[in-house]
């Protein structure tokens, strides 16, 4: 679909360049980027650690993988639910 959609040619307006400078100059942008980076790092680290912990506690590997799948699915459902709740 993206290949079939006609795209307008890029405009060389100074307004968009000034907008990028205005946004890139805000410290909040870098704070939010850092928070997103740390959130993803925490999520990946936790999912890696959780499987090893469950196996070390005596759970079978297939059950541990099922638990990790449920964890990832729960995160996905939570994100969709929050998105639906926030959009009204």
Query: Is the pLDDT score of 16 beyond 80?
Result: no
Confidence of residue 79 (pLDDT cuts 50, 70, 90): confident
* 35 belongs to a structural domain: yes
- Beta carbons of 59 and 53 less than 8 angstroms apart: no
Query: Is the pLDDT score of 19 beyond 90?
Result: no
Q: Which tokens belong to 36? A: 């997103």
How many Å separate Cα 62 from the centre of its chain?
Answer: 26
Q: How many domains is the chain partitioned into structurally?
A: 1
- The pLDDT assigned to 12 comes to 64
CA distance 42 to 30: 18
Q: For the segment 22-63, what is each residue's pLDDT rounded down to a tens digit?
A: 777 788 889 999 999 999 999 888 888 988 999 999 999 999
**What residues make up the domain containing 20?**
15-86
* 7 belongs to a structural domain: no
* 4 belongs to a structural domain: no
* 9 belongs to a structural domain: no
* 8 belongs to a structural domain: no
* 53 belongs to a structural domain: yes
CA distance 24 to 1: 31
- Beta carbons of 57 and 49 less than 8 angstroms apart: no
- The pLDDT assigned to 88 comes to 60
């Amino acid at each position: 679909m993206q290949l079939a959609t006609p795209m307008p040619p890029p405009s060389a307006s100074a307004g968009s360049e000034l907008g990028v400078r205005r946004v890139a100059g805000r410290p909040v942008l870098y704070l939010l980027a850092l928070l997103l980076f740390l959130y993803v790092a925490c999520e990946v680290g936790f999912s890696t650690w959780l499987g090893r912990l469950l196996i070390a506690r005596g759970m079978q590997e297939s059950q541990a993988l099922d638990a990790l799948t449920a964890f990832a699915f729960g995160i996905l459902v939570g994100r969709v639910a929050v998105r639906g709740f926030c959009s009204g």
